[in-house]
Amino acid sequence: MNERIVILGAGFGGLELSARLSSALAGDVSVTLIDKNEAFVFGFSKFDLLFGRENLEGVRSYYRDIVNPGVQFRQEIVTSIDPIARRVVTNRNRYDADVLVVALGAEYDFSVPPGFSEGGYEFYSIDGVLRLRDVLPSFRSGAVVIGVLGEPFKCPPAPCEAAMLLDEWLVARGVRSKTQISVVSPWGTPVPVSSSASKAILDRFAERNIAFVPDQVVTSLDPARQIAFLRDGRSLPYDLFLGIPIHRVPAVVETSGLSVDGWIPVDKANLATRFPHVYAVGDVTSAPVPKAGVFAESAGRAVAEHLIAQLRGGGPPKPYDGAGSCYIEFGEHKVGRVDADFLTGPSPTAPFYGPSLETAEEKREFASTRRRRWFGH
Ligand SMILES: Cc1cc2nc3c(=O)[nH]c(=O)nc-3n(C[C@H](O)[C@H](O)[C@H](O)COP(=O)(O)OP(=O)(O)OC[C@H]3O[C@@H](n4cnc5c(N)ncnc54)[C@H](O)[C@@H]3O)c2cc1C
């Protein structure tokens, strides 16, 4: 009988893993890929939606289009995971797996910190983006605070990218001189792994009069007085507050016993959990890499290589490299790139390539190759 591989979550990690298994092992394995949504949206497409470059339909890739041989997509909600029996229950079915891979990503908790759900907006969820897109045109003067509410959070450069894109958007509407933008970051620099990327962002901030407030998070909002309070007791007045929400594993992961201290611990060499034949990839794990699609993708690839080696025989594959190229939007249609490698050497390396139109084209190509590989179009 074919090996039954069940993958929970069809984001960057689950899609890459299922596509790789299909091209190497179709016929020898049966892959079931489960997601509650009907379509995938790249994290970075949220900026396209927010600033009106695309509409929702334009950024969706439908799972029904998946054509990879041996892969069956099921649109179902995972309601329970038993990692010992490798049994998964959804709102419609029950699945018994020989190999189970959890790729359910991170969810957001909008109930914290105090005042956020009443007084803030966010651009991390699609609903949040659509709400913010509707109010942005009425923002014509005053202070925008883009504030991180806690760590870890997806895509470390995203708060700074939002600031640079918002600056450009406000300039185009002729209201930039009447507005102020600040970014509250938990770190001393925008992208700690790359001093040159951080310098390029801070240079751009200085040029565009964007304030960077380092080493802080926003601990509460007073929506009536429109004040954001920082960890060190300082406060920042705002007219528009954009929070980077608190991230958590989905509730079904928490109740499964897979997570420890909030996230699923994995062997960093092959993404195995402590349960035999159960793996976890991407944002749902505490793997020592940032929460970002490119690392979820490289983790999916590493698990695929590991499973292919197990099924086909041969030597063990190279350990997971924790590598990925992160694109950073600088505005004016320019994009920079950090080639991060967290696990190959004794310490992370992250050379940076400055913002250019060529790298913006490369980012579009990055998205197209994934659409082709994962969805066949
Ligand atoms: C504004 C913004 C910009 C970003 N820009 C970048 C970028 O430029 N580059 C980059 O690499 N990353 C970027 N990211 C981060 C990136 O989107 C995530 O890190 C990435 O999607 C994580 O991949 P994943 O496979 O771990 O999880 P996800 O892609 O989140 O996939 C998890 C899947 O699990 C499904 N799921 C969850 N719970 C259930 C359930 N109970 N039942 C069934 N299905 C379920 C979800 O529907 C989802 O499809 C950005 C994120 C944001 C918010």
Taking CA atoms, 243 is separated from 124, 150, 219, in Å, by 9, 10, 11
CA gap 83, 30 in Å, rounded:
19
The burial of 176, by beta-carbon neighbours within 10 Å (0-12 exposed, 13-18 middle, 19 or more buried), is given as middle
CA of 124 to the centre of ligand 1 (A): 10
H/E stretch holding 88 reads: strand 87-90
Distance of CA 258 to the CA centre of its chain: 20
Q: What is the pLDDT of residue 82?
A: 98
Please check whether residue 50 is in contact with residue 133, taking contact to mean a CB–CB distance below 8 angstroms: yes
Taking Cα atoms as reference points, which of 91, 375, 358 lies closest to residue 367? 375
Query: Exposed (0-12), middle (13-18) or buried (19+): which is 285, by Cβ within 10 Å?
Result: buried
Distance 152 CA to ligand 1 centre (A): 14
Given this model, what pLDDT does residue 125 score?
A: 98
Spacing, Cα 244 to ligand 1 middle (Å): 14
The answer to whether 313 and 292 are in contact (CB under 8 A) is no
Residues having CB within 6 Å of any atom of ligand 1: 9-14, 34-37, 43-44, 46, 77-78, 103-105, 123-124, 154-155, 158, 250, 252, 282-284, 291-294, 296, 326-327
pLDDT value at position 308? Answer: 95
CA of 106 to the centre of ligand 1 (A): 7
Question: Looking at residue 223, what DSSP letter applies?
Answer: T
CA of 293 to the centre of ligand 1 (A): 7
Q: How far apart are the CA of 171 and the centre of ligand 1, in A?
A: 31
Alpha-carbon separation of residue 260 from 151, 256, 273 (angstroms): 16, 11, 11
pLDDT of residue 1: 65
- Residue of the CA atom closest to atom 35 of ligand 1: 9
Cβ pair 267, 236 in contact under 8 A: no
Distance 76 CA to ligand 1 centre (A): 17
CA of 63 to the centre of ligand 1 (A): 15
For 276, counting Cβ atoms within 10 Å of its Cβ (0-12 exposed, 13-18 middle, 19+ buried), the class is exposed
Ordered domains of the chain (ranges, CATH): 3-106+249-320 (3.50.50.60), 110-247 (3.50.50.60)
pLDDT attached to residue 27? 86
Hey, which of 15, 42, 191 would you mutate to test ligand 1's pocket, going by the most ligand atoms within 8 Å of its Cβ?
42
Q: How far apart are CA 134 and CA 127, in angstroms?
A: 11
* For the CA of 284, the nearest atom of ligand 1: 26
Which residue among 101, 164, 283 is best mutated to probe the pocket of ligand 1, counting the most ligand atoms within 8 A of its Cβ?
283
Tell me the whole-structure pTM to 2 decimals. Answer: 0.98
Q: How far, in Å, from the CA of 255 to the mean position of ligand 1?
A: 20
Task: Indicate which residue's Cα is closest to atom 8 of ligand 1.
Answer: 44
Q: Which ligand 1 atom is at minimum distance from the Cα of 79?
A: 41
Q: Are 128 and 241 in contact (CB under 8 A)?
A: no
- Cβ-based neighbour number of residue 234 at 10 Å: 11
Per-residue pLDDT tens listing for the chain (377 residues): 689 999 999 999 999 999 999 999 988 999 999 999 999 999 999 999 999 999 999 999 999 999 899 999 999 999 999 999 999 999 999 999 999 999 999 999 999 999 999 999 999 999 999 999 999 999 999 999 999 999 999 999 999 999 999 999 999 999 999 999 999 999 999 999 999 999 999 999 999 999 999 999 999 999 999 999 999 999 999 999 999 999 999 999 999 999 999 999 999 999 999 999 999 999 999 999 999 999 999 999 999 999 999 998 878 899 999 999 999 999 999 999 999 999 999 999 999 999 999 999 999 999 999 999 999 87
Q: Closest Cα to atom 7, ligand 1: which residue? A: 44
Strand partners, 329: 335
